[in-house]
Structure 1
Amino acid sequence: MSNKIKINHIEWKSDQLLMYSDDKSGTQKSLTATGRVLADSDDLAFIYILETEQEYVYISIPSDYWIDLKKVMEGNHEVILHIHNETIILEGILEELQYLISNIEGNSNYGTEMVDKVEQIFLAPKNV
Structure 2
Amino acid sequence: MQKRIEIKKTSWNEQQLLLEADSVSFPLDQVSASNQMLVDSDNLAFIYKLETATEFIYVSIKDDFWNDMRQALEDKKAIVLVVDKTALLLTNIEEELGYLIENIRDNANYGEEMERRVNEIF
State the TM-score bracket (shorter-chain normalisation): over 0.9
In structure 2, the residue matched to 1:126 is none
**1:29·1:52 contact (CA, 8 Å) conserved in 2?**
no
Q: State how far apart, in whole Å, the 2-side matches of 1:113 and 1:19 are.
A: 23
Name the CA shift for 1:118/1:2 in 2 (closer, same or farther; >3 Å): same
CA contact (8 A) 1:28 1:84 kept: no
Aligned pair count reads: 122
Which runs of 4 or more aligned residues in structure 1 lie more than 3 Å from their structure 2 counterparts after TM superposition?
A: 26-29
Q: How does 1:77-92 map to 2 (within 5 A)?
A: 77-83=77-83, 85-92=85-92
- The Cα of 1:29 is off from its aligned counterpart by 4.3
> Secondary structure of 2:101's partner?
helix
Partner of 1:125: none
- What is the match of residue 44 of structure 1? 44
Alpha-carbon deviations, 1:18-67, whole Å to 9, x = none? Answer: 11111422444411001111111010000000001111000000100000
In structure 2, the partner of 1:93 is 93
The aligned amino acid for 1:16 is Q
Name which of structure 1's ranges 7-16 and 80-89 shifts more when overlaid on structure 2. Answer: 80-89
Identity %: 41
The residue matched to 1:53 in structure 2 has which SS?
Answer: coil
Q: TM-score, structure 2 length as denominator?
A: 0.94
TM-score normalized with structure 1 length: 0.90
1:52-67 equivalent positions in 2, closer than 5 A: 52-67=52-67
Identify which range, 30-39 or 108-117, moves more after superposition: 30-39
- Cα distance in 2 for partners of 1:29, 1:71 equals 29
